[in-house]
Amino acid sequence: MLAEERQQSILKILADTHVVKLQELVQMLDASESTIRRDLQELENRHLLRRIHGGASLLNKLNEEPDMDTKTLKNVHQKKKIARLAASKIKDNDCIYLDAGTTTLEMIPFIKAKDVTVVTNGPIHGDLLAHNHILCYLLGGMMKSTTKATVGSIALQNIRDFRFDTAFIGTNGIHPSAGFTTPDPEEAALKRCAHALADQTFVISDSSKFTEVSFCKLFDLNEAIIITDEIPESCRSLILERTSVCIADDPAIL
């Protein structure tokens, strides 16, 4: 099979599966591992796919944002591990900001600190916090149909009334030079404001977000601590040069 035919086959496979492992491509295309690696490198250089640890994935559109239901079903095990570790960072009497998102939602059952006050822009989060008898202030504003987050000028006006010991913020992309990014400008503005109002910010994200870049920048990597399940080898050294990272499987790394 010619290189061009093989690469077209890789793109067709990705169109169907969105993510594919290197060894799967080796078997499906009856080619060597080194050949497939070269194909993936060339296709990435042409901005037709993104190489990930052990394989490749489709490139996300900069302004594309999965809905809440789709996010909830992805990387469930990793999110629970990350959420448990993130919740352990909350101390008694803390006032925290809990960003809307699926991983921050997973944090709530793990919050064991006493007399915690939470501000959130996630109505679903507010409902679960109230159910767990955790004092919660819910930001007003326009509720997005995709992420179920409240955003916009009203939410920004509300949040400026608070100050936080810690902010826990989600992201759609973590990139060594682009920093933390997210698709929606209004959601990005609220995340930036929460970060500015907090003494300390944790960005919580599973490893699939590394090297991704979305439309709107939140802030640079060195402005927050990342809590994640792992750092892909492809960007590990660059990430660790720029910020501190706490790995869910190894809480000693911070």
Each residue of 19-40: pLDDT tens digit?
889 999 999 999 999 999 999 9
Instruction: Give the residue, 83 or 57, on which the prediction is more confident.
Output: 83
Give the chain's domains with CATH numbers. 3-57 (1.10.10.10), 68-247 (3.40.50.1360)
Contact assessment for residue 100 and residue 127, using Cβ atoms and an 8 Å cutoff: no
pLDDT of residue 60: 62
pTM: 0.74
User: Is it the case that residue 70 has pLDDT exceeding 70?
Assistant: no
The strands making up 173-175's β-sheet, listed across from edge to edge, are 173-175, 179-182, 216-219
Q: Per residue in 167-176, pLDDT tens?
A: 999 999 998 8
pLDDT of residue 252: 45
Q: Per residue in 202-247, pLDDT tens?
A: 999 998 888 788 889 999 999 999 999 999 888 899 999 999 999 9
pLDDT of residue 67: 53
